[in-house]
A and B are shown apart, each in its own frame.
Chain A
Amino acid sequence: MKLSEKAEEILEALWIAEEEGGAFLDPEKISIPADDPAFTELTGHALIELRQGMVYFRPEGREEGRMTIRRHRLAERLMMDVLNIRGEAGDYKACQFEHLLNEGVDAKVCTMLNHPATCPHGKPIPPGECCAEARALGDLGVVPLTEFKSGQEGEIAYIQTEDSKKMQKLMAMGVLPGNRILLMQAFPSYIFRVGFSEFAIDTNLAREIFVRK
């Protein structure tokens, strides 16, 4: 089933409304007029129902909404993490891009991004099958240091930063690919140990150190 872009946007809006604790979506709150054919399309597929002018999920629709929001947030991650398009431009591009992420492309992107759990705005990305498989295999892959729990030890995989001075600073501190790293504490700052030295860094720097379990 391939939905129109507008229909997907309605599903997303409804998903977000539910995520925020609502039971339904008020069509007036989105930019798509209530008489838009997209609504008919969705009711036709028995994904949503309209009661007293409000939009509700049907069970099948909720699953569809889940996958739609997943694609949207994966696209956001892709824009930010890989293509480095941030802010409004990133949001806008993500909106266009998400519609391409069907028929298995989402799983590929998700794996490439190492099954991210949240979008750049901090909202959860509903896990797909690929995520469940990765979890079953216990394959953590390469994650930023921020994803480690305190007490967890791993190996530094790479450093990802555009600021070459920052990278050299980190390398001078002993943050070099191949070195063992032990995260000792994650709040209020990240404290880690490499060799016999301990260091404290802020979240922004911790995000740029990628580690493998």
Chain B
Amino acid sequence: MISFVLRRLASAVPTLFIVVTISFFLMRFAPGGPFNLERPLPPSTMENLMRTYHLDQPLWRQYLIYLSNAVTGDFGPSYIYHDNNVAQLIGKGLPYSMELGFYALILAVVGGVIAGTIAALRQNSFLDFAVMSISTVGVTVPNFVVGPVLTLIFAIMLSWLPAGGWGDGSFRFLILPMIALALPQLAVFARLTRGSMIEALHTDHIRTAKAYGLPSRVVVVTHAMRGAMLPVVSYLAPCAAALLTGSAVVETIFTIPGVGRYFVLGAINRDYTLVMGTVVLIAIFVIVFNLLVDILYGLLDPRVRHD
């Protein structure tokens, strides 16, 4: 098990390296730069800036500088948030994004799995139809529609919940953004669960369990659900990585000081280092969660034990 984890972590290094390399050169080959403002800066200022940020060096030098700094955890200064470097910015924003994302993940997984299971057990009933319709809405209506609508109803019309911001960090502030963030994923989980549950209920070993007179609760929970959870668990990795690293849309709509906005802001302002920092952050989350999910998968399915 430990050697499996170590091997996987070792193989993550080249992946990260390639991700960094592709992102770095992709950005730099594009026209424009961080200080090409509408009103051009005086040449001397420009020169100073370029020197401070090593932008006057040849590209390969910049790349090497970036790499060697990144290895030590220094992701460089942000070009637009002058007072902070990228690591600080992410360190400040990440807890907000992760807390919100964590609640959204719980809601999505628990809600989706329960809804999907019910739909599968009552296949083609009204309940199934209702769950599937709602999940179709969840999948098709993007959260930049859901967000404003939620605000309109619960914050403006009913005044039950705050419209945005983090406030004192109490749960009231989290409810609306959590729902907007979780809804599409909840829908995906519901559909996945329903599909794999229906498939699981048609397998031969479920027929065996029924033929041996096991109570339907045992048939469903111990035999069908455990097998049906496998594809759900696989989806957990990309979903968790996406939710925990923040959503640009939801954080913008609900004015939450997380890291989700940084990427878009960074990209629009050509804040190279900020963009690179968020890219690395997301890649690390994806890799770590893929590993966690693989371990979990091994615990659930004896056929893929990692020895």
A, B bound? no
Chain B residues within 8 Å of A, Cβ to Cβ: none
